[in-house]
Amino acid sequence: MESAGQYDYIVIGAGTAGCLLANRLTQDENINVLLLEAGGRDDYIWIHIPVGYLYCINNPRTDWMFRTEPEAGLNGRSLIYPRGKVLGGSSSINGMIYMRGQARDYNEWADLTGDASWRWDQVLPLFSKSENHHAGKSEFHGDKGEWRVEKQRLSWDILDAFRDAAAQVGIPNTDDFNRGDNEGCGYFDVNQKRGIRWNASKAFLQPAAGRGNLTIMTGCQVKRLKISSDENGKHCSGVEFIGGGKEWMAESICETILAAGAIGSPTILQQSGIGNEAHLQQVGVPLVHQLAGVGENLQDHLQIRSSFKITGAKTLNTMADSWLGKAKIGMEYLWSRSGPMSMAPSQLGAFTRSDATQVTPNLEYHVQPLSLDKFGDPLHAFPAFTASVCNLRPTSRGTVRIVTNDPMAAPKISPNYLSTVEDRKIAAASLSLTRKIVAAPALQKYAPQEMKPGAEFQTEAELANAAGDIGTTIFHPVGTCKMGRSDDVTAVVDSQLRVLGIAGLRVVDASIMPSITSGNTNSPTLMIAEKAALSILAMRGKTVV
């Protein structure tokens, strides 16, 4: 086994969290960091063109190519489960939507962990610190950070009409979803810079890449963490990994930090013998440390995609239905970095309640001026739009579990969508609300006709079953290494994200969320990494500029 050297910190995963950690830690020239990434460089052209997510998702060059197990709640269907396998991680292939969630999310984390530093008023400055917002500095936004947030560079009459229809049924217009209360309807802000995707690699890793105290190794897949025991307890002292056809060992003086995401981090822990003993015995991995919560508590947002055929409005379906149309779209992007090629997957959003008992919005809409049967299929040949809606706070819980002691094997991913009565009830209610919006006066000039799920589904039971047919992941897995109090038997890390019972090991990514945020999860992951960097450096008596 080759030696990759000794470092103060080893960061596993160069996704959203890993890129920020590498940047912040190496601002201190006395700290040496090794950043390991299983994927390659983010030099694929389709990463940077916003519409290129179509060519990055389900592409082994940029995606881990995971699939879920067949899901009972989805009527036996298995879904593709995209996760970025490239510098920048999922920020290189995601929908680019800048979303923080709601203040209640972080206040709940503070309550669950007993740590008030997770409250909204405490984490808001961390969001602002990394932010470079198009409107400049304000009470809620920052303008000096690396994470560029811009308005989208196009609008659509059909989406404007949907926004007006939403207002007519009681969902007000909003110009900012990121002030702690995201209720309302408006165009999403996006992580782009002048019409080009702005991923975590560009924002945080590229500025740090030239520092002599940062070593970046790509194409390296972790086998296991090195855990030792002595009279002081258990300690992580490094990592074994495979790269360039060789097996390597790297040693960490201070900490090894897992930033491999909600799928990767629990998988690495389990391959290292950290998890539930009964499960590890089944797959032939010797138990090193019992933590029953590893790989449990998987949460995700299931988007239920209603689609409507229309007349009299421009949509992407008809704009891109010929070579001439495609050429015009391409020329517009080349000329002005605008038009459909600058589109995020969803342009218009709305946050509202499924019923009056909800204290804050529990539904999120992603509305698109297009329609297709499923991801990867061609657009329909007629004008149409899609209104996807998801339950922001699902009660269903799933698992991520290794199935073999081979570290190269994909884990078994079982989200257990729509497995609770409450989730099925909210799914049915959300489809009914979509119909109510589409029936509002503002959309009637476009004569919308429901294609999916179909007007034949009417009762709550029928609609819940239909949701299983048309629901798909919106790519927000979290929670599989949840943080919690020391007496929480399902917790994996403490409120400073240190793995319980193992010194020198921390998890810093979306897997630590005890409950999913009420919105898209990429920028909350960035905040988690910002907070962790402060905690790590505070232990050294340092602060981040």
Can you count the helices (H) and strands (E) in the chain?
Answer: 15, 25
User: Would you call 456 exposed, middle or buried from its count of C-beta atoms within 10 A (0-12, 13-18, 19+)?
Assistant: exposed
| DSSP states of 194-215 | TTEE--HIIIIIHHHTT-TTEE
* Distances, alpha carbon 100 to alpha carbons 60, 189, 299, 389, 530, in Å: 29, 11, 17, 18, 14
As a whole number of angstroms, the distance between CA 53 and CA 88 comes to 13
Q: How far apart are CA 515 and CA 393, in angstroms?
A: 8
Q: Which of 141, 279, 380, 476 is catalytic?
A: 476
- 413 — phi, psi (to 5°)? -110, 120
Phi, psi for residue 357 in degrees, rounded to 5: -80, -15
Residue 56 · residue 197 · CB < 8 Å: no
Distance of alpha carbon 469 from alpha carbon 345, whole angstroms = 21
- Name the amino acid, one letter, at 3: S
Residue 259 φ/ψ, nearest 5 degrees: -130, 40
- Is the omega angle on the peptide bond into residue 383 within 30 degrees of 0, that is, cis? no
- Rounded Cα gap, residues 283 and 279, in angstroms: 7
d(CA 543, CA 534): 6
Q: What is the 3-state secondary structure (H, E, C) of 388-457?
A: EEEECCCCCCEEEECCCCCCCCCCEEECCCCCCHHHHHHHHHHHHHHHHHHCCHHHHHHCCEEEECCCCC
How far apart are the C-alpha atoms of 366 and 235, rounded to whole Å? Answer: 44
User: For this structure, is 380 an active site residue?
Assistant: no
| Active site residue ranges | 476
